[in-house]
Structure 1
């Protein structure tokens, strides 16, 4: 059971924070940047859930939020130790992605972020999942990270793209790129 009585500890006032193993690191360390980017993606999913409240997608998004918190917990432990995110999580994302994509017409153009408020929020979450993926890839180049972390974030961004199309009336409301239309 987690119990947090004191939130403002002042422990980070000097620019350092603690990892899950108690080690102190600078707040601009690669690991902290990766954890922060995962947290940003999770917050964007929370914003998306405001748009999908009462919809069938909300339960799926709740699972994704929990997964991202687990992924952050994995990253909080140096090395490949956490392993809360597994190949099974990636496989679940792939199954959900395939099921959603099967209901969509094929794309004939690139899709611009937009359409319904829910689809726009899914696009924002997708871009933040991509940022988290880049940060975890950078961390993995310097330190040990469970490979499932990168795989999960890669699948998640694809999942959120397909979800955005689903939230745009199964693609009917997609905002399509028109090359050179900007003037």
Structure 2
């Protein structure tokens, strides 16, 4: 059954935890933010221009489930190896791009705009998870925090790459 009615009073619980919590609690907020980025990555993955990054996005989605489980209190952790794997992808993609000269206005191709939006969702999720860790609501490993930090960098470099491959020049802000 998809509904129980138990959350009608504004509370929820995580798998394996018998205690109910407010849906506005730090843990619920972090889990929701992680779910948002994971769901939107599903939208990115089905973009017809995303064929080269589908596997990378799918791996990220699986890793986000590990992060969600960890934040929810399960005995799951992001391994340092996963952080290094993301760094390797970032380095490989970045090597194909011209150096960054300034901030740039989001947009260009649809795929780049979607990846940039996913980046902002990832940064929000990171902030929420950091909040949970700081409040010691649950144990969040340093590798998990590093992974979330690298995730926004990965999505940024993938957005730049999507524009670059399409011949779109990055547009710096005019500040006018």
Shift in CA distance, 130/180, structure 1 to aligned 2, threshold 3 Å: same
Structure 1 residue 71 displacement after superposition: 1.1
Structure 1 residue 122 displacement after superposition: 0.2
The DSSP-based 3-state class of the residue aligned with 2:70 is helix
Structure 1 residue 107 displacement after superposition: 1.6
Structure 1 residue 36 displacement after superposition: 0.6
In 2, the alpha carbon distance for the partners of 1:158 and 1:52 equals 22
The match for 1:25 is: 21
The answer on 1:97 being equivalent to 2:90 is yes
Shift in CA distance, 174/148, structure 1 to aligned 2, threshold 3 Å: farther
Which among 133, 138, 161 is matched to residue 126 of structure 2?
A: 133
* Pairwise CA RMSD: 1.7
Structure 1 residue 32 displacement after superposition: 0.8
Kindly provide the CA deviation profile for residues 85-132 of structure 1, in whole angstroms up to 9, marking residues without a partner as x.
111111110000000000001122212111100000000000000000
Q: Normalising by structure 1, what TM-score?
A: 0.88
Q: Normalising by structure 2, what TM-score?
A: 0.91
Q: Which runs of 5+ in 1 are unaligned?
A: 1-5
Aligned length: 173
Shift in CA distance, 52/59, structure 1 to aligned 2, threshold 3 Å: farther
Superposition map of 1:81-92 within 5 A: 81-83=75-77, 85-92=78-85
The DSSP-based 3-state class of the residue aligned with 1:176 is coil
Structure 1 residue 178 displacement after superposition: 3.2
Shift in CA distance, 119/133, structure 1 to aligned 2, threshold 3 Å: same
In 1, the alpha carbon distance for the partners of 2:7 and 2:65 equals 21
The DSSP-based 3-state class of the residue aligned with 1:71 is helix
Query: Which has a greater percent of helix?
Result: 2
Superposition map of 1:53-64 within 5 A: 55-64=51-60
Shift in CA distance, 106/171, structure 1 to aligned 2, threshold 3 Å: farther
User: Conserved in 1, the CA contact under 8 Å of 2:83 and 2:150?
Assistant: yes
User: Conserved in 2, the CA contact under 8 Å of 1:86 and 1:148?
Assistant: yes
The answer on 1:124 being equivalent to 2:117 is yes
